[in-house]
Amino acid sequence: MKRFACCVLVVSVLIGACGGGAERSTTVKVDLREYRLEPDRSSVPAGLVVFKLRNRGVMRHEMWVVRTDLGVNDLPTDENDTVIPDAPGVNVVAKEAPMLPRARAELRVRLSPGSYVLLCNLAGHYQRGMVSSFRVVSAKR
Ligand SMILES: [Cu+2]
């Protein structure tokens, strides 16, 4: 019973922290297809970002959010034609698992200011062009 009360307290504190609409989120729609990955905006304010993903292709696709100062075509890849997630200068922030054709998914991630790339890391897809640069700028108060 004590534990339950504690959980209730934690939940109400969390709700309190979110109350008042203090946190705004930015929605970014992303279309994925062979072999393109197209966000409807390439820059967002820091904070909660809601990626609304739609697989418009005929194959499976996924999406990784990677923080990096490397150029979109300069990420290190391995012999499987995938980007190496733990390579120097590559910081994988979030991943949406492979989506079937026509599937939709929503990926919510809190991003701080910096340079990012969005990419599909199924074998060969990054090299074929499923990558897009993405920038997060300081949120205005
Ligand atoms: Cu793909």
Per-domain residue ranges for the chain?
24-137
Residue 23 is predicted with a pLDDT of 74
Residue 3 is predicted with a pLDDT of 53
Taking the whole predicted model, whether its pTM rises above 0.85 is answered as no
Residue 22 is predicted with a pLDDT of 60
Residue 12 is predicted with a pLDDT of 44
d(CA 87, CA 76) in angstroms, rounded, equals 7
Q: How far is the CA of 125 from the centre of ligand 1 (A)?
A: 5
Q: How far is the CA of 47 from the centre of ligand 1 (A)?
A: 26
Q: How far is the CA of 136 from the centre of ligand 1 (A)?
A: 23
**May I ask the CATH class of domain 24-137?**
mainly beta
d(CA 78, CA 80) in angstroms, rounded, equals 5
121: phi > 0 → left, psi -120 to 50 → alpha, else beta; which?
A: alpha
Q: How far is the CA of 84 from the centre of ligand 1 (A)?
A: 16
Per-10-residue mean pLDDT of the chain, 141 residues long, equals: 48 46 86 98 97 98 98 97 97 98 98 98 98 94 63
